[in-house]
Amino acid sequence: MTPHKTLLALALLLSPALALAHPGHGSSGLMAGLAHPLFGLDHLLAMLAVGLWAAQQSGAARWALPATFVGTLLLGGLLGFAGLQIPLMETGIAASVLAFGLLVAVAIRLPMAIALGLTAVFALTHGIAHGLELPVQTSPWGYALGFVAATAALHAAGYAVVRLLPQAATPLVRVAGGATALAGAWLLAS
């Protein structure tokens, strides 16, 4: 099978799932939760960047950064379900895209406490936003499971990109971080 035919087959296979994965489709909280991080540019970029940044780390930080993000995201989601609102939430989300993009671009290894604290603050902001945007007539638990699973998958995808690329491609990861930071700056300016 040629690469062209493989891509076409994959696109056809995934298209029904994509058509059903947008928020507001029926009462499936799981599908809405899965779609939310994937179709919001700010969430998508930040969550991929967390995975990229984690893969640039060493030791426990490689798993602790994504785990902290996912755990704090869920906590934020539960707070959002309860109606908690925080000032400048959208600004915080855009700032997370900028910050995580910069961290990837410079491949910095911060002290663990600072890295985890920064990750947790931004994850809480994303989580509250997810929780506040719970679609009407959907299961909050299914929705939470969906956005947590999608977030973990995005972290894993970012991580895999860095770990599976040849060493010569490391500058491309930094360029992706720079592009993410520029997108974050654009989001902040918007």
Structure tokens at 123: 């994850």
Residue 89 lies in a domain: yes
Q: What is the mean pLDDT of residues 67-87?
A: 96
**Residue 154, pLDDT score:** 97
% of the chain exceeding 90 in pLDDT: 74
Domain count, the chain: 1
**Residue 27, pLDDT score:** 55
Residue 182 lies in a domain: yes
**Residue 172, pLDDT score:** 93
Residue 148 lies in a domain: yes
Cα angle 52-133-63, degrees, rounded to a multiple of 5: 25
Backbone angle region of 25, left / alpha / beta, with phi > 0 → left and psi within -120 to 50 → alpha: beta
Residue 166 to residue 83: CA distance in whole angstroms: 46
**Reported confidence tier of residue 165, pLDDT bands at 50, 70, 90:** confident
**Does residue 80 or residue 170 have the better pLDDT?**
80
- Residue 26 contacts by C-beta under 8 Å, 6 or more apart in sequence? none
Could you list the residue range(s) of the whole structural domain that residue 88 is in?
A: 45-188
**Reported confidence tier of residue 12, pLDDT bands at 50, 70, 90:** very low
Contact 151, 69 (CB under 8 A): yes
Residue 25 lies in a domain: no
Query: What is the tens place of the pLDDT at every residue in 17-73?
Result: 333 333 443 457 899 999 988 999 999 999 999 999 999 999 999 999 999 999 999
Average pLDDT, the chain: 87
% of the chain exceeding 70 in pLDDT: 86
Residue 37 lies in a domain: no
Contact 122, 68 (CB under 8 A): no
Residue 31 lies in a domain: no
Residue 13 lies in a domain: no
**Residue 170, pLDDT score:** 86
* pTM (global) more than 0.85: no
Residue 53 lies in a domain: yes
Q: What is the mean pLDDT of residues 133-160?
A: 93
**Residue 8, pLDDT score:** 42
- Residue 92 contacts by C-beta under 8 Å, 6 or more apart in sequence? 86, 121, 122, 125
Structure tokens at 63: 């798993």
Least confident stretch, 68-72, 94-98, 100-104, 170-174: 170-174
